[in-house]
Structure 1
Amino acid sequence: MLRVGLTGGIGSGKSAVARRLVEQGAVLIDADQLAREVVAPGTEGLAEVVAAFSDRVLDADGALDRAALGELVFSDEADRRRLESIIHGRVRARTAELARAAPPDAVVVNDVPLLVEVGLAPSYHLVVVVQTAVETRLARLARDRGMSQEEARRRIAAQADDARRAAVADVLLTNDGTLDELHAAVDALWHDRLVPFESNVRHRRAVRPDRVRLVEPDPTWPQQYARLAARIRHAIAPADLRIDHIGSTAIPGLPAKDVIDIQLSVPSLAEVDAVLAERLADAGFPALPGHWWDSPRPAGNGRWEKRLHGNADPARPVFLHLRVTGSPGWRYALLMRDHLRADPDQRAAYLMLKRELAASAPDLGTYATAKDPWFDEEHLRAEEWAARTGWRP
């Protein structure tokens, strides 16, 4: 099963995306609909809302008057948070119940307007954000909901802004064009990413590039790492383990393979095998088959054992290195990153080597092995730098 979080500001067209995903075969869990269910007449939720806001939020039939309630909570931050405290826990419980009832091969889309505001992004395999220009949203709200511009702007201001939503987005769907254009983008997302992603999660299959292709530095690599790290942290909770962005994509300005390398510091590899591996696989980070070691520095100094996981997302290759805290391989990964960040000359030399090898040895295994002699020398330079500067991992 693949868990997808879908969000977007009011008037963005998020519901149109949800409908199209359902047409393609997704199972939809609509948080707005559930929010209505948990405060329907006769529920404990409605009784608690009335106790908090009085019966002025009821209509003549005793049902919740959402417009009257909206007038209260969207103009008062404290009231809005009181309402959220009543509703959100009930919605989460019902969401979990519906997800458990979905088929094991389902793509479950959680349509959550306040996904960003309540910090739910790390709980999904993928987050899709629908983004639309504010003026377009204002026009839609006036046309489709009869909302005044003042009320629409107040509703928009009460939600997360575009920058906050974009920060959690694995997929950003822009909806400033036609409905046909939006449908085409959703269809491509479904066939090219969501369907294979779900299969990979279910079969514990990670994406692993086998060829080397260097790309120019992507300024979003750190943000992509941050989203992945948050997902990993959520998956291994309550364990509170150190997570680091390592490798070439962690070095600003350095061209690299478009693969995010992440180091998860663990107490022991036995704990990985017994507990963490399955949690990571459920979150979309399955173990890569085989046994994995780092090349020791200096050469001949034994093998540095680790566990290596990847990402089931076909659009975002990841190498997740699980190393024991304080071990030689753990320290080496952090030292190399920090030294190359600090030394522009060695960074330039490393880039020259990478480009030469990518052209002559594009196979991933050959490429990695061919870098060993350079790293043997770089290790000595890095250790000298660490001693000189007082570096610690």
Structure 2
Amino acid sequence: MGLTGGIGSGKSAVARRLVELGAVVIDADLLAREVVAPGTEGLAEVVAAFSDRVLDADGALDRAAMGELVFADEPARRRLESIIHGRVRARTVELTAAAPPDAVVVNDVPLLVEVGLAPAYHLVVVVRTEVETRLARLARDRGMSRAEAQRRIAAQADDARRAAAADVVLANDGALEQLHAAVDALWRDRLVPFEINVRHRRAVRMDQVQLAEPDPTWPQQYARLADRIRHAIAPDDLRIDHIGSTAVAGLAAKNVIDIQLSVPSLAEADGVLAERLAKAGFPALPGQWWDSPRPAGSGRWEKRLHGSADPGRPVHLHVRVTGSPGWRYALLMRDHLRADPDQRAAYLALKRELAASAPDVGTYATAKDPWFDEEHLRAEEWAARTGWRP
């Protein structure tokens, strides 16, 4: 898990509570000090880059002097980061590997969003606090002037950018007891079962259909998941698409993000790729999987299906061969429904009717087949008329 938040947000209070609950917390700030401690290669490289004016009387790094030197100098700041960040990452890997196999490992990283680390974690938690509250805390706890605190806050990512990277946002404008209650619930309801599911390669399943009203954040949630998948399968560079009802604005849907991963062959999907996805929290669902062919009776469209180990974010990850009928159909139906408001409304009415009368997932899916058989013909006519390509 990645944990972050702006200066003065109370991120450290969340980290301390997670330690009390049993998490292994790796503090990037502490590691950043460790890798430039006296006698380290890191400190020697800093001095070589910036001279000994950044040392105090005892030969240690004068962090205040270093901060003043690089704060308003972008090239200098990037040079310092190039010295420190790689060493912090290497040390983080060592500490993570040393944690117990059933540990929830929390990386406490102040600049997690700024340096683009979010896709590397199973889950990203952001602590968010109103700016005025943060300014008051920085004055009270760190003795900062208002101007200095404002300058530090402005130098970091804003709330909107952090929220875009966050799977969970913890509000921290109230009492400490309220924050602890939110952290405790996150630990109990999401982090612990998530860890168990990742370790046992177990995906979250939904047995009953419950339609959620259209959620404008579904595309943003997909984007985070896609970034995580892309990071997991690197260096492979495979196409990833948001498909299904959550990819069509205005449609109510099961609160499951459908994603399509394009592969050269299913044989390749079954090897190293499946293992990388499982480690990233997207384990393969057992059994054989295929799509209902259109038109009916034209043979099974085989695929692989992965789910999500995260109990807070169900996912169906459809792994299909690029250019195959099922692959093309998923993209065609998504784009056709996006383009045709009448058919989108008809599909929404059908979904609501079936969810009420056939709430079992299997029955619900089968009951939609006749409508999709007809809709497929309309979609093909639309594709021919508009020149659509996948």
Specify if TM > 0.5: yes
Residue 75 of structure 1 deviates from its aligned partner by 2.1
**1:330 is matched with which residue: 297, 316, 327?**
327
1:184-208, Cα deviation, whole Å (9 max, x unpaired): 0000000000000000000000001
Report the counterpart of residue 178 of structure 2 in structure 1: 181
Report the counterpart of residue 369 of structure 1 in structure 2: 366
Write the distance in 1 (CA, Å) between the matches of 2:294 and 2:235: 34
Please state whether the residue corresponding to 2:294 is helix, strand or coil: coil
- Give TM-score, length-normalised by structure 2: 0.99
Report the counterpart of residue 288 of structure 2 in structure 1: 291
Residue 274 of structure 1 deviates from its aligned partner by 1.3
Please state whether the residue corresponding to 2:271 is helix, strand or coil: helix
Q: What is the 5 A alignment of 1:186-225? A: 186-225=183-222
Matched, 1:82 2:68: no
Contact conserved, 1:175 with 1:182, CA < 8 A, in 2?
A: yes
Report the counterpart of residue 48 of structure 1 in structure 2: 45
State the AA in 1 paired with 2:8.
G
State the AA in 2 paired with 1:67.
A
**1:255 is matched with which residue: 252, 260, 263?**
252
- Give TM-score, length-normalised by structure 1: 0.98
Please state whether the residue corresponding to 1:296 is helix, strand or coil: coil
Matched, 1:63 2:50: no
Write the distance in 2 (CA, Å) between the matches of 1:131 and 1:55: 38
What RMSD in Å do the two structures reach over aligned CA positions?
0.7
Q: Share of identical aligned residues, percent?
A: 88
Q: What is the 5 A alignment of 1:1-40? A: 4-40=1-37
Residue 159 of structure 1 deviates from its aligned partner by 1.1
Write the distance in 2 (CA, Å) between the matches of 1:289 and 1:251: 28
Report the counterpart of residue 107 of structure 1 in structure 2: 104
Report the counterpart of residue 230 of structure 2 in structure 1: 233
Residue 149 of structure 1 deviates from its aligned partner by 1.6
Report the counterpart of residue 337 of structure 2 in structure 1: 340
Contact conserved, 1:74 with 1:154, CA < 8 A, in 2?
A: no
Please state whether the residue corresponding to 2:380 is helix, strand or coil: helix
Write the distance in 2 (CA, Å) between the matches of 1:287 and 1:226: 20
Residue 85 of structure 1 deviates from its aligned partner by 0.8
Q: What is the 5 A alignment of 1:296-307? A: 296-307=293-304
**1:95 is matched with which residue: 88, 92, 98?**
92
State the AA in 1 paired with 2:53.
R
Write the distance in 2 (CA, Å) between the matches of 1:67 and 1:174: 30
Write the distance in 2 (CA, Å) between the matches of 1:63 and 1:206: 49
State the AA in 2 paired with 1:217.
P
State the AA in 2 paired with 1:71.
E
State the AA in 1 paired with 2:374.
E
Please state whether the residue corresponding to 1:245 is helix, strand or coil: strand
Deviates more, 1:271-280 or 1:330-339: 271-280
Please state whether the residue corresponding to 2:133 is helix, strand or coil: helix
State the AA in 2 paired with 1:206.
A
Please state whether the residue corresponding to 2:270 is helix, strand or coil: helix
State the AA in 2 paired with 1:166.
A
1:318-347, Cα deviation, whole Å (9 max, x unpaired): 000000000000000000000000000000
Residue 244 of structure 1 deviates from its aligned partner by 0.2
Write the distance in 2 (CA, Å) between the matches of 1:161 and 1:79: 23
Write the distance in 1 (CA, Å) between the matches of 2:318 and 2:342: 27
Matched, 1:353 2:350: yes
Report the counterpart of residue 149 of structure 1 in structure 2: 146
Write the distance in 2 (CA, Å) between the matches of 1:210 and 1:15: 39
State the AA in 1 paired with 2:80.
L
Residue 310 of structure 1 deviates from its aligned partner by 0.3
Deviates more, 1:12-21 or 1:48-57: 48-57
Residue 113 of structure 1 deviates from its aligned partner by 0.6
Write the distance in 1 (CA, Å) between the matches of 2:227 and 2:122: 11
**1:318 is matched with which residue: 315, 319, 322?**
315
Q: Point out where structure 2 has 5 or more consecutive residues left out of the alignment.
A: none
Residue 152 of structure 1 deviates from its aligned partner by 1.4
Please state whether the residue corresponding to 2:47 is helix, strand or coil: helix
Write the distance in 2 (CA, Å) between the matches of 1:246 and 1:18: 36
Write the distance in 1 (CA, Å) between the matches of 2:63 and 2:150: 18
Write the distance in 1 (CA, Å) between the matches of 2:146 and 2:67: 15
